[in-house]
C-alpha cells in the first residue's frame, strides 16, 4: 500500500499547494480520496493513470474536496473509459453531478455507480483486495473519514525451489493457498520451503476535516499510517476550533492515542507559507510525523 499526495492545502491553492486530493494504491489498484480543483492536472503531473482508478471517495461537500470531480469524470469519458467507476460520497453529491452532466447533454461512456454515505460508520466497499469503512468526524457540515484495509494475498511461489522438488505447475494454486506438497514417494515438502509469506495486510486512515476529537479513535487504532488535517498551528488553536479544524499538535496527540505507526499532516491553511513549524510542533508529541509534500509517495 502506498499514498501519493496530489493536494494538501486547505480551501484555496496557495504557495504551489493545491486543494485536497490523494491516491491510495493497494497492490495494482488506485483509490482517489477527495478531488479538489486541479486534481486531474495533478494526476497527469505525477503519473497517476485513470485506468487503474475504480473507486473515488469524497469526504464532504465543501468545494475544496470535490470541485475537481466533474471535470475528472468527464475527461475519463472523453478518453473512452468503459470500466465501471464507483463513487462514494455524501448523498447531495449525485444530484449536483447529474445537473452538471444534464445541462451539457453529457452521457458518460462508462457506468457510474454511486454509494451514498450513511449518517454513521459502515463498510462501503469490500473487494477481494481491500475493504473501505467510513466513519463520521466532527466538522461544520456532515463529514466522513475513511479506513482502507488491504487483504491477504496468496503466498508467493519460489519457482526454482519448486523445480528442485519437482512440483508440477498444476499444483501451484494449492501452494499459493498454503498447502504442502506430497510427492509420489509420499514425502511431504512443507509449503514454507516452496513459497514466501504474503505481504501483511495494511491499514490506512484518512481523517478528513474535523475538530480535534477522540470520537473516531476506535476506527484508527493501530493503523499503519493516518493522514490527519492540521490546518493550523497551536498558536491559532482558538481559530481552529471556531472553524472546526485541528492543529498539528492536536493531530499528533491523536496519533499517539491511536498508537499509529506514522502520521501524515496535510490540509494546511493558506496563511502559512513555511510548513517546517508544523513538523516541529507535531513531532514533540508524536515523533514519527511527516509533513506531506505534493507529488511524494509514502510507502507503507
Residue in this structure with the C-alpha cell 499547494, named with its chain if needed? 17
Task: Specify whether 64 is catalytic.
Answer: yes
Report the first-to-last Cα separation within the chain, whole angstroms: 6
Name the DSSP letter for residue 235: G
Count CB-CB contacts under 10 A for residue 159. 11
Query: What is Dmax (Cα atoms) for the chain?
Result: 75
**What are the strands of the beta sheet with 130-136, ordered from one edge?**
122-126, 130-136, 144-150, 203-207, 225-229, 263-266, 289-291
Phi-psi region of 114 (alpha: psi -120 to 50; beta: other; left: phi over 0): beta
- Out of 30, 34, 64, 209, the active site residue is 64
Grid cell of 244 as nine digits: 472546526
DSSP, residue by residue, 170-210: GGHHHHHTT--EE-TT--EE-HHHHEEPPPPP-EEEEE-S-
β-strand pairing of 144-150 with 203-207: antiparallel
Q: Which three cell numbers stand for residue 137?
A: 468526524
Q: Which residues are catalytic?
A: 64
Amino acid at each position: 500500500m502506498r499514498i501519493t499526495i496530489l493536494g494538501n492545502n486547505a480551501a484555496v491553492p496557495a504557495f504551489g499547494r493545491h486543494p485536497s486530493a490523494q491516491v491510495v494504491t493497494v497492490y495494482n489498484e488506485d483509490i482517489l480520496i477527495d478531488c479538489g480543483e486541479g486534481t486531474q492536472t495533478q494526476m497527469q503531473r505525477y503519473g497517476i493513470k485513470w485506468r487503474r482508478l475504480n473507486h473515488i471517495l469524497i469526504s464532504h461537500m465543501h468545494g475544496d474536496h470535490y470541485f475537481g470531480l466533474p471535470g475528472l469524470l468527464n475527461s475519463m469519458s472523453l478518453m473512452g473509459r468503459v470500466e465501471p467507476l464507483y463513487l462514494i460520497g455524501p448523498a447531495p453529491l449525485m444530484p449536483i453531478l447529474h445537473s452538471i452532466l444534464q445541462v451539457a447533454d453529457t452521457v458518460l461512456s462508462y457506468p457510474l455507480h454511486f454509494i451514498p454515505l450513511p449518517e454513521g460508520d459502515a463498510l462501503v466497499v469490500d473487494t477481494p483486495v481491500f475493504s473501505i469503512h467510513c466513519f463520521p468526524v466532527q466538522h461544520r457540515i456532515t463529514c466522513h473519514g475513511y479506513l482502507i484495509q488491504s487483504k491477504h494475498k496468496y503466498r508467493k511461489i519460489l519457482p526454482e525451489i519448486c523445480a528442485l522438488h519437482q512440483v508440477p505447475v498444476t499444483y501451484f494454486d494449492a501452494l499459493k493457498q498454503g498447502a504442502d506438497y506430497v510427492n509420489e514417494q509420499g514425502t511431504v515438502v512443507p509449503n514454507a520451503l516452496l513459497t514466501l509469506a504474503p505481504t501483511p495486510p495494511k491499514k490506512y486512515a484518512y481523517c478528513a476535516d474535523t475538530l480535534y476529537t477522540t470520537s473516531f479513535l476506535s476506527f484508527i487504532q493501530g493503523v499503519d499510517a493516518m493522514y490527519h488535517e492540521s490546518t493550523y498551528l497551536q498558536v491559532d488553536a482558538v481559530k481552529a476550533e471556531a472553524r472546526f479544524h485541528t492543529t498539528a499538535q492536536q493531530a499528533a496527540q491523536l496519533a499517539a492515542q491511536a498508537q499509529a505507526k506514522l502520521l501524515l499532516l496535510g490540509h494546511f491553511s493558506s496563511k502559512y507559507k513555511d510548513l517546517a513549524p508544523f513538523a516541529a510542533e507535531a513531532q514533540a508529541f508524536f515523533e514519527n510525523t511527516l509533513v506531506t509534500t505534493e507529488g511524494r509517495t509514502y510507502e507503507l
